[in-house]
Structures are given as structure tokens and as C-alpha cells.
Amino acid sequence: MPTLQCISPIDGSVHASRETLAPDAADAVAKAARAAQPAWAARPMSERIALVRRAVEIVGEQTERMTTELAHQMGRPVRYGGEFGGFTERANHMADIAAEALAPIVIEDSDAFSRRIEREPLGVVLVVAPWNYPYMTAVNTIAPALIAGNTVVLKHATQTLLVGEHLAECFHAAGVPGDVFANVFLDHETTSGLIAGKAFDFVNFTGSVGGGRAMERAAAGTFTAVATELGGKDPGYVRADADLNAAVDTLIDGAMFNSGQCCCGIERIYVHESLYDAFVEKAVALVKTYRLGDPLKQETTIGPMANVRFAMEVRAQIAEAVEAGAVPHIPVMPGDDGAAYLSPQILTNVTHEMRVMRDESFGPVVGIMAVRDDEEAVRLMNDSQFGLTCSLWTDDIDAANIIGAQLQTGTVFMNRCDYLDPALCWTGCKDTGRGAGLSVLGFHALTRPKSYHLKKG
């Protein structure tokens, strides 16, 4: 069977390799998950919640392992301490709201009728998780799926092979049965075959647009629900009344953190012409303070991109833009090796004819444009095939609401960015995909409504 290899961006070495399951072995895992689901769902919800919370605690007892392995697998500097903060916030919020989110909706409970809507688990949930925030993105679905009474099969990205194993170890150590939560290594063909064969009742996929299309093609005609979070080209807009320093600090961090490899990272910035020059000057000064280098060293503030080919795509977008007239502001840094270690870049004199302002970059580059007013900003922000989040910087919440209503996006931020609030629905539009993660709606996506109309007497 094919072997999956995690190539470490630190030095290009093979950090981990795992053999994929043969189709019959993969099918056996899915069937075992299906067989285990009724008994798991029959457990009291309080038990399921307690087991998920305990698994989260165990992960929290191993944050040093998380941090170091993330540096080796996808290049995030150890100084940032892994992902446990967001991981526990999301999982525990879903545990906190589960009883209310999954409670029956009682329409009538009288001497004549009992009428209500209950929510039942879908069955077996496949989670296909990405490498960029491998713990947090996975737990978005794993925790509510298990709490709701589903069983879960996790297929993690090749770049973060060890994360799936780590999560499975922790959940099993907490007492979640192996057939209730299974981590698997699969190739694309086997994954598509399982989906097409109706092995799963729900598929949650986070990844590329092409990957999302492959999932939907595999599920075609099966009536299996597929939730997708795909590409993004998230904009920031700085109005004339914005706090300039806060806008620079937050938007540039949103563009550059994790080497720009964030689903809701800022990839393009529009600044009111009255603040434009000052914004660019401060943004360039900030990025020039970054230290590009080995993510295992505490002084490193920006590490390599997760894979050489990802970095080469960003380099290509930058080179094309510069050739077309864009102005680069950040000199090549000493740690730039022409491969995975990529200098961050700020570009001005950019247009929407350039790929760097149109295609997903998913790297440490951002283009900045001046705009005359809200109308121009809205037009440019909507001029994208994607729609995950946008970030508005203003002192006027009424204006933010008016602008937000005009934007084609899943989340509207004001005076912040690059954050996932587990109490709000995580969703997108256009080629970003469809689905409803976290919040009450996340539980609704992982269950089905069942109506009871009982006539008494």
C-alpha cells in the first residue's frame, strides 16, 4: 500500500511516515464505527461530555509534545506554544452548550397531544482535517460529533500525520472506545471509495477548493451531507476613523502569523486614502522586525512554510505582481533559503488583475490598496471568488453594521481579525464552501431533526 510521508519544513527530512490502509481494512474501520454508534449514542449525554472533556485535559497535559511536533511537522515556531488555548476553548464551549443545543423543541405537551422535535445523531462522521491548525480544526467537529452521539473517523493531512495519532491516543486514554473514535491513514482513492460506498453519514472537509470538489463528487448520489471549508482571500478595511496603530498591529499579525497559513488570515488590505501612507509605513516597519528562522529556536518569530511547494507558489505570485508593477517593501531576510523559508512581503501599487490580490496565497504576503470611501472598499472586498471572513476597522459600529450587510462573507469582524469564536457559526460562502461549524448550529449540522406527533387517549 502507498506510504504517506511528512516532510519536515525545518530541514526537508522525512519526519514521519505511515502506510495507508488497504480498502478492505479501511472499510472494516468504518463498519466497526457504525456498529459501535448505537451503544455510544445510548450513553447519557453527560457521560459523553465528561469523556470529551477528559480527553481535552489529557491533550493539555502534553502541550510540550504538541508544540514541538507542530514545529517539526509544519514549521510553527515553538515560541507560540502550540494550539491548546483555542483547542480547549472550542471543545469546552461545545460541551457547555450541548444540553441546551440538543434539547427537544416542545411544541405542545397537553392532555390531548405531545408534539416535539428531537435531534438524533447522524451516525458515522468522517473528519478530514488540514495541517495549518491541525488540532483546532479537527476538534471543531470531533468534539460536538462525539457529544451528539456520533462515532468519528479522523483522516488527518499528510503534513501533520502525528496529530491524528496524538488525538486518538488522548481520546482513548480518556475512555472513548477505539471504534467510537478512530484515526486512519488513507489515500485519496480509498477515501473517495468509502464516501461513494455510503460508509459515512456526514463528511467534514477542510482544505483546498479542489479537495472539496473531490469530496462532493465522491458523495454524489449518496445523499451524504458534505460540509466544506475551502479557500479564502480575507480582506481588511481600515476606515478614516480607525485606530491606526491597532489596525496595523492586528491586521499585519493576521496576515503574517503562522507564515500566513491561516484559513481566515488577512490576504488583502484596503485603507482609506487619508491613512494609507501612515498605515504602509507602520506595517513595513513592523514586518522588518520579524526573525525568520528555525522554528525550534525561541527567538524565531516566523518559521518556514509547511512545504516547499507552498512557498514556491507564494514566490510566484509575488514575482508576477512585481513584474506587473507592484512595489515590494521587505528585503530578502537572511534566513530565506529560496525554499520553505520565505521572507514575508508587503506589496503596494497592486491591482485586482494580479493573482496575489485574487488567488489564495496562504503565505506571508499581503497587498495594500488605498480606497476613497466605503463604497469602493465594499466593491473591492466583494471582488473575490471566496467569502470566509472580513475585518472592518472603525470607531462607528453603525457603519460596521451597514458595511457588513453588504459583504459576501461568512463572518464580519470589527476591530479584530483571524479569530474563531466558538459561540458563533463558522461558515463561508462562494468558493469558500458551505457548512455550519461550532455554535448551536454546529450541533444541528451533526444531527437530524425527528418529529413526534403523539395523540393521547
Active site residues: 229, 263
How many C-beta neighbours within 10 Å does residue 279 have? 24
Residue with cell 481588511: 236
Q: How many alpha carbons fall within 13 Å on the CB side of residue 110?
A: 6
CA atoms within 13 A on the CB side of 385: 9
Q: Which long-range contacts (CB under 8 A, 24 or more apart) does 30-36 make?
A: 30/124, 30/153, 30/194, 30/199, 30/200, 31/199, 32/179, 32/182, 33/124, 33/151, 33/152, 33/153, 33/179, 33/180, 33/182, 34/123, 34/124, 34/151, 34/199, 35/179, 36/151, 36/177, 36/179, 36/180
Distance CA 147, CA 130 (A): 22
Biggest CA pair distance of the chain: 82
**Alpha helical stretches, state H, 188-307:** 188-196, 209-219, 244-256, 276-287
Q: Rounded to whole angstroms, how far apart are CA atoms 373 and 87?
A: 38
DSSP labels for 29-89?
HHHHHHHHHHHHHHS-HHHHHHHHHHHHHHHHTTHHHHHHHHHHHH---GGG-TTHHHHHH
Quick one: the chain helix, strand, coil %, rounded to 5? 40, 20, 35
CA 304, CA 261: separation in Å to the nearest integer? 10
Q: Where are the alpha helices (DSSP H) in 263-360?
A: 276-287, 308-323
Which cell is 46 given?
A: 453527560
User: How far is Cα 346 from Cα 411, in angstroms, rounded to an integer?
Assistant: 25
Task: Name residue 387's beta-bridge partners.
Answer: 429
